[in-house]
Amino acid sequence: MKIEGRTFVVSGGSSGLGLATVLSILQAGGHAAILDLNPPPASSLPPSGGGGAKFFECDVTSTTSIASAVAALTSWTSTTGLPLGGIIPAAGIGLPGLILSKSLDPLPLSSIDLVLGVNLRGTLDLVRQVLPHLAASPPYGDDGERGVVVMVASSAAFEGQMGQVAYAASKGAVAAMTLPMARDLSRFGIRVVTIAPSMFDSAMTAAMSDKVRAGLKKAMEFPARAGRPDEFASLVVQSIENAMLNGVVIRLDGATRMPSKL
């Protein structure tokens, strides 16, 4: 799938890994529909490529909010003439909490619902609502590709740490649905790839304490640093462009395997 001349829907595109993805899509000559609670910082989009990115306010936990954003973005693509080429549901939250606290309080259901609601239901509902439009895009190239879904899991899908039961459940589910989704969509010429990053620099990880950061560093192999958002975005670009990537979960972690305790 070629990025140039196509529009990609990026949830969570106002910050971190989603924003880096938007910038890479613009650089490759595509358009990006940014679906987020908040717009991206004005200074984050290049002046020349700014016209290729449009913000649509959206809360992925609300199916009506997604429906409004999808209606608005498809009307935008019919104005620009750049058909849809893919969906990158990168909106996500981490809300740590032990399943049972030291004082014997179970993890509040509200906290579980919120994490699953954004990371899992929000991913599925956005993909579900954009897919009919993606399947209607004109086929591209010899393979007749119509588009690519690039979902975002996490190392926590495989090695969730203490306090990550809900987050690991959401990301493990995203990883697990990659293959069946690819199987469902192959008849439409739509591929599905999931990226599972370890620790990457973003607003999400900026909130970590120095102690947690130092502990995570000890678990890193090479390079012994957090990933950069542009390194994540370059794998999204490759996932879009390489037709043989399908039905696969790709770890992007520099061989880091998260330990139980830091």
Ligand X SMILES: NC(=O)c1ccc[n+]([C@@H]2O[C@H](COP(=O)([O-])OP(=O)(O)OC[C@H]3O[C@@H](n4cnc5c(N)ncnc54)[C@H](O)[C@@H]3O)[C@@H](O)[C@H]2O)c1
Q: Is 58 left (phi over 0), alpha (psi -120 to 50) or beta?
A: beta
Stretch that binds ligand X, among 25-33, 34-42, 104-112, 140-148 (CB under 6 A): 34-42
Residue of 140, 167, 188, 200 with catalytic role: 167
Stretch that binds ligand X, among 22-30, 85-93, 103-111, 138-146 (CB under 6 A): 85-93
Helix (H/G/I), strand (E/B), else coil: 35: strand
Is residue 152 near ligand X by the rule CB under 6 A? yes
Size of the site for ligand X (CB under 6 A): 30
Task: Outline where 165-218 has alpha helix (H).
Answer: 165-176, 178-185, 203-206, 210-218
Pair of tokens at residue 19: 């924003």
Is residue 160 near ligand X by the rule CB under 6 A? no
Is 167 annotated in the active site? yes
Pair of tokens at residue 51: 């016209």
C-alpha to C-alpha distance for 87 and 10, rounded to whole angstroms? 6
Distance in Å from the first CA to the final CA of the chain: 41
Interface pick for ligand X out of 2, 59, 159, 213 (rule CB under 6 A):
59
Is residue 164 near ligand X by the rule CB under 6 A? no
Task: Point out which residues bind ligand X (CB under 6 A).
Answer: 11-12, 14-18, 36-38, 58-61, 90-93, 118-119, 122, 152, 154, 197, 199-200, 202-205
**Residues labelled catalytic:** 167
